[in-house]
Structure 1
Amino acid sequence: HFGSNGDIMNDLNDLVAIETTWKNRVTPLVTITNLTSEGFSSDLAHQVLNNPQARNNLVNNIFYLVSRKGYGGVNIDFERVKAEDRDIFTGFLRQLGERLKPAGYVLTIAVPAKTSEDIPWLKGYDYGGIGAVVNYMFIMAYDWHHAGSEPGPVAPITEVQRTIEFAIKSVPRRKLIIGVPLYGYNWSIPYRSGTVASAISNQNAIKTAMRYQSPIQYSKEYKSPFFQYRDQAGQMHEVWFEDVRSMSEKMVLVRKFGLQAIGAWQLTLGFTPGPWLLKKFFTIRTV
């Protein structure tokens, strides 16, 4: 996390994790985010990006953190960037990249999924400009339906493909990593506006279906599994998640469009068939 003056607030005991990652021939990256106790803050990002002193301070602090702790690079995860900060955000990334690259560090970024430039709340992300200055772009291709929305597929294949087709127009394919969810959502139905669904891991979704002996259905349109069940209190639920079939479809897209890789949020949720699927569809490279 960072403050309004560009200082980084880092109290993580991460040295063992960093050392273990390197020993397994995987490059550890430190994530820098505008997440606050109230959520991702557009105002915090705006304040730092538009203050040259704070922006320079943040760049220097990121470089110092990476080099001091032994990371291999950084992942920038600024969410809800304002439309008015579009160019200054790309400029910040360029400045950071120019600082990191000579020392051999990697600059990556997590960005929301875009299917066009006409989406008002995503205008702060210039795919072309960002893609020109980062090593890799992780597209968070999920949450088309989310905790605050009506029930539906979290990562429908139709929207994932549209996102890829839009991204490759301005970003080199070998820089693109498509993010997939290791989770779904459990909605109470009928859906009522203002209610919040609970997140559920893919593995727990399957266990829930088994527990309530509910048959898992599969949307041929969205390439996504779902099911309904009634709990002990009589409340009906609808669950959308990911399984081997839906994950395979997304891996097929990564191969079809010649992208760099597939990624996931988030690993601690687990996905038992994940390693098998990766080996089936990809050649795994460790560096």
Structure 2
Amino acid sequence: MFWVLLVFWTICSGSGSDVCPCERQELCRQIREERDFEVFVFDVGGKKWQSYNWSMVTTVAAFGKYDAELMCHAHSKGARLVLKGDVPLSYIVDQDNRTAWITEKVNLAKSQFMDGINIDIEHQVEEGSPQYRALTALVKETTEIFHREIPGSQVSFDVAWSPNCIDKRCYDYVAIADSCDLLFVMSYDEQSQITGDCVAMANAPLSQTFNGYFQYLDLKIDPKKLVMGVPWYGYDYSCLNLSQEGKCSITKVPFRGAPCSDAAGKQKPYSWIMKQVNTSMSGRLWDKQQLAPYFNYKDESGQIHQVWYDDPDSVCAKAGSVKSKGLRGIGMWNGNILDYSDDPVAQQQTAAMWNALVAC
């Protein structure tokens, strides 16, 4: 009876099997080749991956439902497909729980013919706490077990744009970087803690973004462990007041100790932004200090909004520094939110965003 239930659970959970789903059996072999330069893509489900620029993709982190067709296609292009790894820190403080979680993930990766795991844990942690030590141990043990069980597999860990306890994420960044293969630096949501004027600002201002990397490098973290993450989305803020200088005052929404945050805005995909800017009251504007585009528009009720986002110009300004700083690569959150339709204008805009990752 136990085995009947186990087989039933496996089928219903969609956890994969040892039967290769690809037309060619060799496509189920895990990718082991190391790339000198990473283009790391987060995919959140659906079929938009079919329109990615696969000539540059090296790793896809599957944050949506498992898609065997995506795995086969990624492998046909020599790209890795890695699991999402997320777990409450309170759970993995216990060694047995930690080992069980890692064992479950590595077995899942094997059954789905995947090539590693991206650990995405963004919880607040106090330095020296049991959770602090458990997180460090989790990354170390996950890397050791994945490397042993799936030779050539990749283990990456997502970190904030700066190691300075951003959002109270006070992790042992040096030990974590030493343990895993890559740190994906989320160089976005940089206004999650606003301590100055509560006004709309760029999602990822250039100088602030660069300061974050300088801080990681000051910790003597190998630049070849760092992948720069850029946003393919922006923030739409309702303005309490729009000053003559163009500053948009926003509602105070506290977050993890800060009196104001980007939570006052709504995240909008690049595909929406490109349509909205064309009908806006200002058209595309460029902030020379933050080196980012923005625009103002009125909604149907007459409310003024200000939208900050990234486009090929602002992405290029960041991407150009990736190679000059000797970083491992670049990536985005997320690959799905461009317009992959047949519209000629959308096709040009989408191609420009992909090209901005490497052509600057």
Note whether the superposition's TM-score is higher than 0.5. yes
Aligned residue in 1 for 2:96: 53
Amino acid at match of 2:164: S
Matched, 1:88 2:134: yes
Aligned equivalents of 1:188 and 1:176: distance in 2?
35
Aligned residue in 2 for 1:278: 357
Q: Deviations over 1:233-266 (max 9, x none)?
A: 2110100001111001111221221101111001
Instruction: Answer yes or no: is the 8 Å Cα contact 1:142–1:154 preserved in 2.
Output: yes
Q: Deviations over 1:100-154 (max 9, x none)?
A: 112312111111122535x57021x222111101111101111023599741110
Q: Deviations over 1:191-225 (max 9, x none)?
A: 22248422112232232121135221111111111
Amino acid at match of 1:276: N
Aligned residue in 2 for 1:188: 238
Aligned residue in 2 for 1:3: none
Aligned residue in 1 for 2:329: 261
Aligned equivalents of 1:26 and 1:13: distance in 2?
16
Aligned equivalents of 2:231 and 2:324: distance in 1?
20
Aligned residue in 1 for 2:301: 233
Aligned equivalents of 1:243 and 1:277: distance in 2?
9
More off after superposition, 146-155 vs 229-238:
146-155
Aligned equivalents of 2:316 and 2:299: distance in 1?
30
Look up the SS of the partner of 1:269 in the other structure: coil
Matched, 1:122 2:131: no
Look up the SS of the partner of 1:239 in the other structure: strand
Aligned equivalents of 2:190 and 2:297: distance in 1?
22
Distance 1:114 1:77, change over 3 A: same
Question: Which of 191, 201, 204 is residue 152 of structure 1 equivalent to?
Answer: 201
Q: CA deviation at 1:275?
A: 2.7
Instruction: Answer yes or no: is the 8 Å Cα contact 2:311–2:353 preserved in 1.
Output: no
Question: Which of 145, 154, 173 is residue 106 of structure 1 equivalent to?
Answer: 154
Instruction: Answer yes or no: is the 8 Å Cα contact 2:83–2:118 preserved in 1.
Output: yes
Instruction: Answer yes or no: is the 8 Å Cα contact 1:147–1:198 preserved in 2.
Output: no
Aligned equivalents of 2:223 and 2:138: distance in 1?
23
When the two structures are superposed, what TM-score results if normalisation uses the length of structure 2?
0.68
Aligned equivalents of 2:199 and 2:13: distance in 1?
37
When the two structures are superposed, what TM-score results if normalisation uses the length of structure 1?
0.84
More off after superposition, 202-211 vs 154-163:
202-211
Aligned equivalents of 1:147 and 1:162: distance in 2?
16
Amino acid at match of 1:77: D
Amino acid at match of 1:164: Y
Aligned residue in 2 for 1:134: 180
**Structure 2 segments unaligned to the other structure (5+ residues):** 1-11, 15-64, 241-249, 254-262, 339-349
Instruction: Answer yes or no: is the 8 Å Cα contact 2:120–2:157 preserved in 1.
Output: yes
Question: Displaced runs of 4+ in structure 1, greater than 4 A?
Answer: 146-150
Identical aligned residues as a percent: 20
Distance 1:147 1:210, change over 3 A: farther
Instruction: Answer yes or no: is the 8 Å Cα contact 2:167–2:192 preserved in 1.
Output: no
Question: Which of 109, 121, 130 is residue 78 of structure 1 equivalent to?
Answer: 121
Amino acid at match of 2:296: Q
Backbone CA RMSD of aligned residues = 2.3
Look up the SS of the partner of 1:187 in the other structure: strand
Aligned residue in 1 for 2:269: 201
Matched, 1:22 2:75: yes
Distance 1:279 1:254, change over 3 A: closer
**Structure 1 segments unaligned to the other structure (5+ residues):** 1-8, 35-43, 282-287
Instruction: Answer yes or no: is the 8 Å Cα contact 1:59–1:96 preserved in 2.
Output: yes
More off after superposition, 106-115 vs 51-60:
106-115
Q: CA deviation at 1:10?
A: 5.7
